């Protein structure tokens, strides 16, 4: 496993296991499988509604808690100092842990400044080892870096061969913020798993298109958190540290960039309206 060192000196695995869209009834089994394969970084969120099952798996696995890098995220419904602090402590209870390795603001909406101040305080109390954000565009990220006691240490955003975030990554690097990729495979959109270019590159190394995508992200210095519910795919995704893409192949993948999200534009007012509607519908779930 390769590691990156965050701005505060905390080491974070370059490859983790994400549990987005995994139903609670499958989550414990999936996380146990991932830990068996060798993953030591697990990424969940309040809005995934499977924190308790993640915590159960970690406890049942008998893997030392100190060997696991555990991430969760604060959802929009819990924005603001008091609600955020309370929700983070509840997340720790669900996860059966007395500290988090990383806590992120999940979306750049509502009172995320109040949420950040709660996270800063919990970080100062030693309850969270690193704090960061998710889905923050460069302007909002620079705002967070410039007007807070503590700068975000991580920004988790969509990154895949069709949405490469080259400009956003430059701004993260300027401010010492570690980029982390969600949807590293673009959820297979536009045929990424069977893309001829990725398949041809993969044949050069005896690897699959999925492994090529993960290796490309890691070589860019981007932490990545692929998801699978199948242990054989988990193992395949984990097996990306025994080869290195050439500069030419890195360039070939770079040329695939469409420079737009495959899912949604966080700067589009219609996307914001979608989140407003979603959080209104979810108000009784948190």
pLDDT value at residue 282: 82
Does the annotation count 48 as an active-site position?
A: yes
Q: Which domains does the chain have, with CATH numbers?
A: 3-281 (3.20.20.100)
Annotated binding site for substrate: 106
Confidence check: pLDDT of 57 > 90: yes
pLDDT value at residue 269: 94
pLDDT in tens, 227-277: 999 999 999 999 999 999 999 999 999 999 999 999 999 999 999 999 999
pLDDT in tens, 147-164: 999 999 999 999 999 999
Annotated binding site: 106
pLDDT value at residue 286: 75
Helix (H) or strand (E) holding 140: helix 138-146
pLDDT tier, 281 (very low <50, low <70, confident <90, very high otherwise): confident
| Active-site residue, from 48, 81, 99, 123 | 48
pLDDT in tens, 108-148: 999 999 999 999 999 999 999 999 999 999 999 999 999 99
pTM above 0.95, yes or no: yes
């Amino acid at each position: 496993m390769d590691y990156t060192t965050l701005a505060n000196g905390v080491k974070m695995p370059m490859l983790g296991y994400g549990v987005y869209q995994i139903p609670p009834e499958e989550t414990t089994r999936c996380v146990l499988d991932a830990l068996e394969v060798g993953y030591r970084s697990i990424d969940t969120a309040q809005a995934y509604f499977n924190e308790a099952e993640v915590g159960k798996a970690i406890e049942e696995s008998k893997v030392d808690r100190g060997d696991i890098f555990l991430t969760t995220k604060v959802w929009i419904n819990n924005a603001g100092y008091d609600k955020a602090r309370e929700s983070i402590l509840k997340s720790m209870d669900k996860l059966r842990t007395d500290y988090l390795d990383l806590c992120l603001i999940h979306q750049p909406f509502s009172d995320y400044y109040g949420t950040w101040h709660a996270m800063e305080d919990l970080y100062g109390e030693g309850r969270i080892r690193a704090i960061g954000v998710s889905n923050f565009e460069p302007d909002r990220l620079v705002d967070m870096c410039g007007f807070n006691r503590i700068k975000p240490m991580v920004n988790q955003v969509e990154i895949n061969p069709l949405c490469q975030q080259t400009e956003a990554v430059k701004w993260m690097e300027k401010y010492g913020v570690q980029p982390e990729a969600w949807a590293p495979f673009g959820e297979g959109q536009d045929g990424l798993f069977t893309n001829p270019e990725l398949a041809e590159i993969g044949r050069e190394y005896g690897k699959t298109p999925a492994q090529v995508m993960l290796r490309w992200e890691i070589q860019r210095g981007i932490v990545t958190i692929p998801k699978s519910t199948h242990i054989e795919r988990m193992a395949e995704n984990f097996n990306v540290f025994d080869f290195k893409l050439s500069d030419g192949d890195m360039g070939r993948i770079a040329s695939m960039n469409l420079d737009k999200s495959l899912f949604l534009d966080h700067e589009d007012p219609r996307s914001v309206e979608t989140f407003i509607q979603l959080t209104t519908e979810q108000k009784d779930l948190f």
